[in-house]
Structure 1
Amino acid sequence: MRSVSSAGGGSTYNSDNADSLLLAFQSTLDLIADEASTMVSPGVAVNQSQRFQHLDEMYFSLFKPLQNSFWNGNLKRYRVGIQGGEATFYDAAGSNAMSGSDFSASARSWWSRSVDGADIMLGGARDRLQTSSRRLYYTAAPGGSLRQFDLNDFTNAQLLLPPEATDAVRTNVANELLNMWGDPLHSRPLMVNYGGTGSGENFVEDNIVFVSTNAGMLHAIDTSNGDEKFAFMPYEFISKASSYTVNRLPLAGGNKRQTYGLDGSWSVLRVPGATIQDAPEKVMIYGGMRRGGNSYFALDVTNVTSPELAWQISGSTGDFVDMGQTWSTPKVALFPGRVPVVIFGGGYSPADHDDHKERRSQDEKGNAIYVVNALTGELVWSAGSRNANVQETVPEMTHSIPGSIAVVDVDADGVVDHLYFADLGGQLFRADIDGSASANHKVELLAQLGGTGENHRRFYEQPTVSYVREGNKSIYYVSLASGYRSHPLDVDTQDALFVLRDQVPFGGAEQTVATLTDFTNVSTGAEPDTTKRGWYMPLNKAEGEKSLSSPAVFNYEVLFTTYSPRSAADDESDPCSVSYGQSYLHRVDLLTGEGERSTLLQPGLPPGVTVLFGENNETAIVVGTETVSADSPDDDDDDDDEPNVRSLRQGRWMQLTPDGAGAIKQP
């Protein structure tokens, strides 16, 4: 039997009691899932000829968990239609592509030669590599110029192979590099327009979608046929090529993956051509490594068949000593003087938050924000608590800032006026950007919402800023939700949605740092007290409920997803079954906090909310692969509510005992 399990790629487990037998079943069965999984919002492009609408193209980053450190992935395209405030996904044949929140077994995605359903190994951009050749570019040193991959240019050592590795092994490494698709676990597809043909309703766009994976590659995909224009693999990953190909590593203790790649989402700087039909004058894209490391990359992809590395920034060196793992998705903006810049948070400090339930007084890395020149990568401005490492010293910036930075332009001149960001210490900040020649930028601490015990809140995601007119006053409503992303099974923290009212950018008087007592608790039914700084809504309808994505605000409604490691049905479930928790969608009034929570079909950790804008001013709400009615969400205020649909087993994480589950590290 041991030989049978080994030949099948499995494992052998010995057990002499019921408890260990159950754990053995859980550790193997939980990762057996034929369904494709996604943890990021789908990619969708704005219609170039009608900028208030989205195109009808939807792109999903998909992956399938395996019981090792390498997971397979894919990128698939579908069509989305909006009618009556509800979205529907269609396959290439025009049929409904979904069955609940899962892809239908009979669906055929765009670019696919046959029915691919929920199988990530079939169809999509991955399938197109079977009929074309990958043009793989790499850097031979950090920040070096791009070269096209040729196996003859590499020694065994440069591929992380032993000196005695044979030509056959080397060839296997090369074949895998030229054909593999890793998991785009946290990489949201980025759509970039390269012009088009025709005009009016006959205008056909030329689009490229960019997505990166934990196989260490960025992929550029032609949306018309799914062909890969190029793939990019930086030195940091191609120098460990054997770990991603022929010597893929198992999971380490605590179910930790040992290899990551380019796991972040990307942003674009696009300088348009003279007309919408013309190719853009310049296209540059920016992205980080997330769990894969502490670097950001800028690629000039104006010529999408011949990319160039414009610059690379790495942490622990030079002006970026305090930069941690690069989780923050870069924001492209204009700084005073109309300088194109890229803005990002200092990142994540794994030494401080992976294995530490209690916060330290100061994190080792990530407690800074950076603004760099978008074309050159040179530092324009930085702020943080270590005065020797940043331009602006802010003693209160003590904790990592893994989330993106909210960029605000008050006077609509295209230039940044304010930046809002939050940290893993439960704090919210605003940076005021001085447009005068003195460039006297400053950072203000707005609120301290963390603490000890059940108030041990962390903000992993970007705040959302909304403009509100109250009588003769202009106010920014800043929405942010807390959740321990590195420990999604944590049940000890009372997480919450917070909405802070900030009038200072419009000439309001400076205010002291807000704490929890300065916010109205709307869960008690109380109306928000307008003399206070804002309101908050505890996430207490399910045990351990937390938010793991940034809120969306549309039409004075805050939309955000949450996750609880326990569902209402867990207490009555078969003790031999495995629970993936429950995901929810909250829709609450921005001004009052009134609203409702609905149960999502998808198990496990949900992505954030995407609001789609279709023809005839119709809108729809999408959460990953699930569509939600924009008009009549289900109300399930009862704590004992049943999920709308109990899906069959779908695995993302290996299940452990409750004590062991706290050690799971979400990538």
Structure 2
Amino acid sequence: KSSDIANIVASTGVGDADGIYVDDVAKYLNSPAETGTQGIGDLVNGLTSNIEGIQTHIIQLLTAKVDRLEAAAGVGGGNYFNITNNAELLNAIQESLAEILLETDTAFVAPVVPTSPDNRTFSGQRIYLGFFYPHNDEPWHGNLKKFGINNSGQIIDANGNSATNPDGSFKDVLNADNPAGNSYTASSFWSSGDAGRVSAGGTGDILLTQIGSRNIYTYFSNSNLTDSSNQFSITNANLTAALLTVADDTEKDKLIDFIHGVDSYDEYIGSDRPWVMGDILHSKPNVVNYSQYDFDVASNEANCTINQNTIYVGANDGMLHAFRDCDGEERWAFIPPEFLPRMKDIRGNKHPYFVDGSPVSYTYDADRDGNIEAADGDKVVLLFGMRRGGDAYYALDVTDPDVPKYLWKIDSSQADFAELGQTWSTPNFGLVKNSSGDVVLAAFVGGGYDNLNEDGRFGNTQGFTNSDVSPPTADAGHVTSTATVTPTKDGTTPVTNNPKGRGIYAFEVATIGAGGVPTIATSATKVWDFVYGEASHTYNSTRLTHSFPTDITVLDTDYDGFVDRLYAGDTGGQMWRFGQYGAGGDSLRPYSNPVITDWIGKRIFSANENGDGTTGRKIFYRPSVTLQIGGIINLYFGTGDRAHPLNKNVVDRMYAIFDRNQVTPEEIDADNIIDVTDNLLQEDSTSAADIQALLTSLQAGALLSGGPVSDNFGWQINLDETGHDGEKVLAPTLAFNKVAYYSTYSPGGLSMDPCLPGNLGTSRLYAVDYLTGEAVLNFNNPANNGAANNDVESTANNNRADDDAGNVLRKEDRSIDLGVGIPSGVVVLLPPSGEVKLLIGSGGGIRSVDPVLGGTVYPIYWRSY
């Protein structure tokens, strides 16, 4: 009734009280803050629980435009169309359906389970999730949420109730399907009844209460970011209209207020924006423990005097955020200065990228009391890159989480780092010695991603805003792999268009003095690199014709405290090994000298049989490794183009590559490894003689015993199953307890049917024996994939298919469907109870998988940063 609406307008202040309520109602329905507190569920479909904001799309037919209707759609978060013919009507309906689909298809980056603040040999009892969902015509929404984990490894909400359904989705009575018939909605910490919805609860909801008091900083010259000269505020004279690339001071002030969360452009008919937190698309939250406390006492968790821990995460609202773990409030946010001219793009209809990389931290606790106190000489350094946002890495001193300090940055404008591309690689720490013999804590990163050349060679499927690395590319949708740039096998013709990212870097975080006391680096200092064209590393470097977006696998194989070997893959499908070699680069001597300046790299494997990258297999993620008896190192990884997940024109693979520590590494490819795609070892039709021959080829026994291994370099599984078109590995692989776990993604049908505006594709988890590629879990049963139970099949001729529980394992048991969307990597949960669980994110839910159990896990080597 009009009187009810008038009362709502008066009590909430969301409307203009002019007596015409269509825009007021649209605004009210679309405001998560208001709907969460005013009980709008009582007014919609008889619901009595809080619900997320409702969009209003308006299609006006064959009449002159009504400004009030256009305004209503704008404040309602929807689209307005004034159509004059059938074609325009069809387009309006399609766009609205696509927008609705995008809003419901939420997802998050890999779940993060930090160590316990009171016993750091175990996983903590909290899990952190960064969320996002897309919008067509307003900034994408994001959120950061925290849930609990009980002693059995079950995900619980703030009230101690189970937070997820058996399929991994969050318990939510407002879910239209409500698959488990939930009687309650899970509540994340700091929130109530928000489940896995993006625009409800979490730090995003709390941020709406801080709009007038946020601490947002950038950097000009004072290293103390809290100094007034660095504040992102309208009173800071350093922030000019020219710097922010807007017309005048009025527009400058509007933009600054808008970034803080004020509705300065009157887009929503209210004083504040309905949602402020930007999307957390690729940035994994990093939780730094600043205080040690009894984790089992509930009152400690929400007491900000006791729990001083801080969560750092990047977002595509232009900022690195620091949130208090005790209550979810934002301590501060930092805008890298190169983003200032681009902040206005947040209001556009194209999704810009900013702090898209994952922060990592180095912590030094001088007296090892579990509390970080500057007076004790403790240190915390935070490093983060930009991923799609740019080509820089930043270092901040966050020893005092309320007073961050700028240390330095590196980017491609500096001569020592000129090869840097987009900084996709998350830094990985390790101790080395520099050319002067000093002990240095170094951060290892890949050279980055070169989207101009990679998109040019294999097609682009997304639109990206301009960055320092390469120009923007158009949205081409689902494309065929066509090579417009073709590097030769020996690399004599490198890629064109100013290529970037070809190699890896190590830069200094701190020098380590007597007693392990660090002196934090105050400037960007390169410790070592191996990049294309580097004069001091000419051996084999001409084959560095592709970029390295991957993280680096850093190993200390002799446990002396110093890094002695690195592994990394590139976008040409090549796997590289880096370490200490002898004269001429022939004899491998990784244990003899930790001085990193003498290191070189060698290509040890190519996933593309022709030796170059034109076949299309790319390596985007670091290998997971196991160390075998006799010094053999097994590498587990998959191929897949993370930048073009919809492409179906490449047959990607899952690999186990055995680095046999040979004196002269051969360049191996598919001809030197065993194809185990068909899983013949567990087929009943395979003869005993054929099984033995295959086992001999795989040389699993020799690998386990440390005996001679003369021929086999590993195995591969082709991702070419019928109905799995375009299946690819788009997350790190995990090798755990003699099982290799791979998560994969198969794009959907990409139908042009206007009634099917989108298709998110399918995510899967594979679990295979780490030496043979055989199935190890009974995945293919009615309780999982819904497939016919194969437990009654005969194993009379081949008992390798029998597992300990009496199940029959075949090729189909290697994988299980997880749901929709691109899955995360697998996270191992090690609770104090010892009930190990594997967690994997997919389609806005968290699946829990019981791993293959082995013997007792005990530490043989410990390293922490």
Scaled by the length of structure 1, the TM-score of the pair is: 0.84
Q: For 1:556-635, what aligned pairs fall within 5 Å after superposition?
A: 556-566=738-748, 576=756, 578-595=758-775, 596-624=813-841, 625-631=845-851
Indicate the residue corresponding to 1:665 in structure 2. Answer: none
2:604 corresponds to which of 438, 441, 446? 446
- CA-CA distance at 1:63 after TM superposition: 1.1
2:188 corresponds to which of 84, 100, 109? 109
Residue ranges of structure 2 left out of the alignment (5+ in a row): 1-59, 173-184, 263-271, 301-305, 459-482, 488-493, 510-520, 581-589, 681-693, 700-710, 776-812, 854-865
Indicate the residue corresponding to 2:282 in structure 1. Answer: 186
- CA-CA distance at 1:188 after TM superposition: 0.6
- CA-CA distance at 1:260 after TM superposition: 1.0
One-letter amino acid matched to 2:369: I
Decide whether aligned partners of structure 1 residues 388 and 17 sit closer, same or farther in structure 2, where only a CA change above 3 A counts.
farther
Decide whether aligned partners of structure 1 residues 630 and 23 sit closer, same or farther in structure 2, where only a CA change above 3 A counts.
farther
1:546 corresponds to which of 713, 728, 753? 728
Indicate the residue corresponding to 1:276 in structure 2. Answer: 369
Alignment pair present for 1:67 and 2:136: yes
Contact persistence 2:190–2:327 (CA under 8 A): yes
Find the aligned partners of 2:124 and 2:432 in 1 and give their Cα distance.
30
Alignment pair present for 1:135 and 2:270: no
Alignment pair present for 1:349 and 2:417: no
2:360 corresponds to which of 267, 287, 291? 267
Alignment pair present for 1:249 and 2:348: yes
Q: For 1:412-427, what aligned pairs fall within 5 Å after superposition?
A: 412-427=559-574
- CA-CA distance at 1:195 after TM superposition: 2.5
Indicate the residue corresponding to 1:308 in structure 2. Answer: 405
One-letter amino acid matched to 1:169: K
Alignment pair present for 1:215 and 2:311: no
Find the aligned partners of 1:328 and 1:166 in 2 and give their Cα distance.
36
Contact persistence 1:384–1:392 (CA under 8 A): no
Indicate the residue corresponding to 1:148 in structure 2. Answer: 231
Contact persistence 2:318–2:343 (CA under 8 A): no
1:333 corresponds to which of 424, 430, 438? 430
- CA-CA distance at 1:22 after TM superposition: 6.9
Decide whether aligned partners of structure 1 residues 591 and 168 sit closer, same or farther in structure 2, where only a CA change above 3 A counts.
closer
Find the aligned partners of 1:513 and 1:97 in 2 and give their Cα distance.
49
Decide whether aligned partners of structure 1 residues 341 and 53 sit closer, same or farther in structure 2, where only a CA change above 3 A counts.
same
- Report the 3-state secondary structure (helix = DSSP H, G, I; strand = E; otherwise coil) of the residue aligned with 1:173: helix
Of stretches 584-593 and 93-102 in structure 1, the one that deviates more from structure 2 is 93-102
Find the aligned partners of 1:458 and 1:584 in 2 and give their Cα distance.
19
Identity of aligned residues (%): 30
- CA-CA distance at 1:577 after TM superposition: 6.0
1:529 corresponds to which of 695, 698, 705? 698
Indicate the residue corresponding to 2:6 in structure 1. Answer: none
Contact persistence 1:291–1:325 (CA under 8 A): yes
Indicate the residue corresponding to 2:41 in structure 1. Answer: none
One-letter amino acid matched to 1:222: R
Residue ranges of structure 1 left out of the alignment (5+ in a row): 252-256, 634-667
Decide whether aligned partners of structure 1 residues 148 and 610 sit closer, same or farther in structure 2, where only a CA change above 3 A counts.
same
Decide whether aligned partners of structure 1 residues 171 and 628 sit closer, same or farther in structure 2, where only a CA change above 3 A counts.
closer
Contact persistence 2:355–2:387 (CA under 8 A): yes
Contact persistence 2:122–2:832 (CA under 8 A): yes
- Report the 3-state secondary structure (helix = DSSP H, G, I; strand = E; otherwise coil) of the residue aligned with 1:139: coil
Indicate the residue corresponding to 2:552 in structure 1. Answer: 405
Alignment pair present for 1:518 and 2:672: yes
Indicate the residue corresponding to 1:430 in structure 2. Answer: 577
Find the aligned partners of 1:438 and 1:558 in 2 and give their Cα distance.
31
Decide whether aligned partners of structure 1 residues 109 and 186 sit closer, same or farther in structure 2, where only a CA change above 3 A counts.
same
Find the aligned partners of 1:17 and 1:591 in 2 and give their Cα distance.
61
Q: Deviations over 1:422-473 (max 9, x none)?
A: 000110000004625684211111011125799420111111111123xxx2
- Report the 3-state secondary structure (helix = DSSP H, G, I; strand = E; otherwise coil) of the residue aligned with 2:621: coil
Contact persistence 2:739–2:852 (CA under 8 A): no
Alignment pair present for 1:373 and 2:508: yes
Of stretches 457-466 and 235-244 in structure 1, the one that deviates more from structure 2 is 235-244
Aligned length: 610
Greater RCO structure (CA 8 Å; 6+ sep): 1
Decide whether aligned partners of structure 1 residues 604 and 27 sit closer, same or farther in structure 2, where only a CA change above 3 A counts.
farther
Alignment pair present for 1:169 and 2:254: yes
- Report the 3-state secondary structure (helix = DSSP H, G, I; strand = E; otherwise coil) of the residue aligned with 1:63: strand
Indicate the residue corresponding to 1:28 in structure 2. Answer: 96
Decide whether aligned partners of structure 1 residues 39 and 391 sit closer, same or farther in structure 2, where only a CA change above 3 A counts.
farther
Find the aligned partners of 2:408 and 2:395 in 1 and give their Cα distance.
5
Indicate the residue corresponding to 1:285 in structure 2. Answer: 382
Find the aligned partners of 1:142 and 1:342 in 2 and give their Cα distance.
25
Contact persistence 1:565–1:580 (CA under 8 A): yes
Contact persistence 1:26–1:578 (CA under 8 A): no
Q: Deviations over 1:408-429 (max 9, x none)?
A: 1111122111010000011000
- Report the 3-state secondary structure (helix = DSSP H, G, I; strand = E; otherwise coil) of the residue aligned with 2:217: strand
Contact persistence 1:432–1:441 (CA under 8 A): yes
- Report the 3-state secondary structure (helix = DSSP H, G, I; strand = E; otherwise coil) of the residue aligned with 1:339: strand
Contact persistence 1:326–1:402 (CA under 8 A): yes
Alignment pair present for 1:92 and 2:158: yes
Decide whether aligned partners of structure 1 residues 144 and 306 sit closer, same or farther in structure 2, where only a CA change above 3 A counts.
closer
Indicate the residue corresponding to 1:195 in structure 2. Answer: 291
Alignment pair present for 1:320 and 2:320: no
Structure with the bigger percentage of strand: 1
Contact persistence 2:283–2:356 (CA under 8 A): yes
Indicate the residue corresponding to 1:659 in structure 2. Answer: none
Decide whether aligned partners of structure 1 residues 116 and 436 sit closer, same or farther in structure 2, where only a CA change above 3 A counts.
closer
CA RMSD of aligned residues (A): 3.1
Indicate the residue corresponding to 1:237 in structure 2. Answer: 339
2:201 corresponds to which of 102, 113, 123? 123
Q: For 1:466-481, what aligned pairs fall within 5 Å after superposition?
A: 466-469=626-629, 473-481=630-638
Q: Deviations over 1:222-276 (max 9, x none)?
A: 11111222211111123333323xxx1113xxxxx3x210001111111123133
Scaled by the length of structure 2, the TM-score of the pair is: 0.66
Contact persistence 2:641–2:728 (CA under 8 A): yes
* Higher Cα radius of gyration: 2
Indicate the residue corresponding to 2:705 in structure 1. Answer: none
- CA-CA distance at 1:313 after TM superposition: 0.4
- Report the 3-state secondary structure (helix = DSSP H, G, I; strand = E; otherwise coil) of the residue aligned with 2:332: strand
Decide whether aligned partners of structure 1 residues 312 and 13 sit closer, same or farther in structure 2, where only a CA change above 3 A counts.
farther
Contact persistence 1:37–1:64 (CA under 8 A): yes
Decide whether aligned partners of structure 1 residues 547 and 57 sit closer, same or farther in structure 2, where only a CA change above 3 A counts.
same
- Report the 3-state secondary structure (helix = DSSP H, G, I; strand = E; otherwise coil) of the residue aligned with 1:415: coil
- CA-CA distance at 1:611 after TM superposition: 1.1
- CA-CA distance at 1:523 after TM superposition: 0.9
Contact persistence 2:447–2:548 (CA under 8 A): yes
Indicate the residue corresponding to 1:465 in structure 2. Answer: 625
Decide whether aligned partners of structure 1 residues 529 and 117 sit closer, same or farther in structure 2, where only a CA change above 3 A counts.
closer
Decide whether aligned partners of structure 1 residues 360 and 311 sit closer, same or farther in structure 2, where only a CA change above 3 A counts.
farther
- Report the 3-state secondary structure (helix = DSSP H, G, I; strand = E; otherwise coil) of the residue aligned with 2:155: strand
1:360 corresponds to which of 486, 493, 508? 486
Contact persistence 1:215–1:261 (CA under 8 A): yes
- CA-CA distance at 1:47 after TM superposition: 2.0
Structure with the bigger percentage of helix: 2
- Report the 3-state secondary structure (helix = DSSP H, G, I; strand = E; otherwise coil) of the residue aligned with 1:28: helix
Contact persistence 1:42–1:59 (CA under 8 A): yes
Q: Deviations over 1:334-374 (max 9, x none)?
A: 11243111110000111112243125313401101100001
